[in-house]
């Protein structure tokens, strides 16, 4: 076998470390970018940061009300307070109202309640069944009726026992046929219980008044704040937008090391590398900013009606459409919109919600997926609840009445995404 040495030329694409970092930088939220810049300051002696003193826009995530605050003032407002949780209050009530021999049992049960107030015990429970039952009934004296139940049936049973002892038919249905109620099998209940349909309706409406989660606030509740990356405001009928990056520190060159750049030694080589990283960081941040603003300009043009009127006016728009408008690759737009929160006059949410696929209409136009979902919700709201529409009938309605071509499977998919039950589970008496 002869050994032969060949030489050939190939053309390939190699992703450099700087390119990978630039792609990663594009995906960062503004807060992640802030953390990254702080890390770069530690690693690179040439980077000098000066904290900004402008206002930051915060958004309360629970009800989406915005507020402004200086980064240096009233930061204690965002520190969790020492308010006593409901679980702690229950423990205090146990110590106040029960003798020492029962306190250990009840404190054990309280500590094993889940966030909805249901008791979750595994096989390693230290108390037997009868003792646990006695403890559950003792809990009803200090907590909402139904607390400590181990199932939905037991929770409803406790409420009937303590609040509605005369509701014998409701108790019988809850004990034996709650699955028929859940699946709205009205005729089956009539046949099994030997009662009229009117009585079934009366019992069903009564059961609806019971609380399946009597201790829903047992978990610690806290308000969470998010910092939107982009803010869109409607002022005097005009849309204005800006990046919420006023709290990003100003990056400058540490002049103490600048004199070493021209010295030809090992130190100079190290300083030159760090200087290149400094310039790369400045350029990459600016490129990220320019890319996001280009995307926002297209969004404001294409989705102007949404920013003024809300989700009902959201137009079909894809990442590819935006990429074509700004002459960039679709993957670049995808990365630039990743992990970005936008604050608008109609709420604060992920910017990806402004991108929606389209469905064709019979007249050759298109309609957004979001608008179709809203139409679907309205159709189901107005339907006859005694004879709810099947997914196929809704699909037919879209085609004949709205001129929107849509399949039954797509209706089912949208309905499930909207958490709307099937027609059989929407049926009322």
Buried b (16+ CB within 10 A) or exposed e, 242-255: ebbbebbeebeeee
pLDDT of the residue at 323: 93
Per-residue pLDDT of the chain (429 residues; tens, 9 = 90+): 667 777 777 765 555 556 677 788 889 999 999 999 999 999 998 899 988 766 556 555 433 333 333 333 343 444 444 556 788 888 999 999 888 888 999 999 998 998 888 998 887 778 889 999 999 999 999 888 999 999 999 999 999 999 999 999 999 999 999 999 888 889 999 999 999 999 999 999 999 999 998 877 666 555 567 789 999 998 888 899 999 988 899 999 888 777 676 666 677 788 888 888 899 999 999 999 999 999 999 999 999 988 988 887 888 888 999 999 999 999 999 999 999 999 999 889 899 988 887 777 777 777 888 888 888 999 999 988 888 999 999 999 888 888 888 889 999 998 998 899 988 888 887
C-alpha distance from residue 155 to each of 87, 117, 148, 344 (Å) = 18, 10, 8, 42
Map residue 427 onto helix, strand or coil. coil
d(CA 392, CA 399): 11
pTM: 0.63
**pLDDT value of residue 358:** 74
Q: Is the Cβ–Cβ distance between 227 and 244 less than 8 Å? A: yes
Query: Could you tell me the sign of the dihedral formed by the alpha carbons of 364, 370, 373, 378, in that order?
Result: negative
Query: What is the reported pLDDT for 155?
Result: 93
How far is residue 134 from each of residues 21, 58, 171, measured CA to CA in Å?
62, 49, 20
> Quick check: 230 and 244 in contact, CB under 8 A?
yes
User: Within 13 Å and on the Cβ side, how many CA atoms surround 107?
Assistant: 14
Q: Confirm if 343 and 228 have CB atoms less than 8 A apart.
A: yes
- The single residue listed with the structure tokens 């709420």 is 347
Of 71, 108, 73, 69, which Cα lies nearest the Cα of 91?
108
26 Cβ contact list (under 8 Å, min separation 6): 287, 288, 291, 332, 335, 336
- 167 secondary structure, DSSP code: -
Tell me which DSSP letter residue 75 carries. Answer: G
Per-residue pLDDT, 17: 58
**Residue 72 burial class via C-beta count within 10 angstroms: exposed 0-12, middle 13-18, buried 19 and up:** exposed
Q: What are the CA-CA distances from residue 368 to residues 8, 232, 244, 317, 375 (Å)?
A: 52, 21, 29, 8, 11
């Amino acid at each position: 076998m002869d050994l032969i040495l060949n030489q050939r030329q190939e053309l390939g694409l190699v992703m450099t470390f700087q390119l990978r970092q630039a792609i990663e930088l594009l995906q960062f939220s503004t807060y992640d970018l802030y953390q990254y810049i702080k890390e770069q300051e530690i690693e690179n002696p040439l980077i000098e940061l000066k904290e900004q003193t402008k206002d930051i826009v915060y958004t309360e995530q629970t009800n989406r009300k915005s507020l402004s605050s200086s980064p240096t003032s009233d930061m204690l407002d965002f520190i969790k307070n020492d308010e006593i949780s409901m679980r702690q209050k229950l423990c205090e009530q146990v110590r106040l109202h029960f003798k020492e021999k029962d306190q250990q049992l009840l404190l054990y049960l309280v500590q094993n309640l889940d966030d909805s107030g249901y008791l979750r015990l595994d096989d390693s429970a230290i108390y037997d069944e009868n003792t646990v039952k006695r403890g559950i009934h003792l809990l009803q004296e200090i907590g909402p009726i139904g607390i400590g139940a181990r199932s939905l049936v037991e929770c409803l049973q406790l409420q009937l026992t303590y609040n509605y002892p005369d509701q014998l038919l409701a108790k019988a249905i809850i004990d034996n046929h709650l699955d028929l109620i859940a699946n709205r099998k009205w005729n089956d209940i009539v046949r099994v219980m030997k009662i009229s349909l009117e009585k079934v309706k009366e019992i069903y409406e009564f059961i609806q008044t019971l609380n399946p989660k009597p201790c829903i606030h047992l978990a610690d509740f806290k308000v969470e704040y998010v910092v939107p990356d982009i803010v869109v405001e409607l002022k005097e009928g005009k849309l204005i937008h800006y990046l919420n990056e006023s709290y990003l520190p100003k990056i400058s060159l540490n002049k103490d090391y600048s004199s070493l750049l021209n010295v030809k030694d090992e130190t100079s080589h190290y300083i030159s590398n760090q200087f290149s990283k400094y310039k790369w960081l400045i350029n990459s941040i600016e490129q990220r900013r320019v890319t996001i603003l280009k995307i926002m300009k297209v969004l404001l043009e294409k989705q102007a009606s949404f920013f003024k009127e809300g989700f009902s006016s959201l137009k079909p728009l894809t990442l590819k459409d935006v990429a074509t408008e700004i002459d960039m690759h679709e993957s670049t737009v995808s990365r630039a919109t990743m992990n970005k929160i936008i604050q608008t006059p109609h709420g604060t949410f992920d910017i990806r919600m402004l991108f929606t696929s389209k469905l064709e209409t019979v007249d050759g136009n298109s309609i957004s997926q979001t608008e179709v979902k809203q139409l679907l919700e309205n159709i189901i709201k107005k339907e006859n609840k005694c004879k709810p529409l099947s997914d196929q009938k809704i699909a037919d309605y879209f085609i004949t009445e709205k001129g929107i071509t849509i399949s039954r499977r797509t209706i089912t998919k949208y309905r499930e995404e909207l958490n709307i039950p099937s027609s059989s589970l929407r049926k009322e008496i």
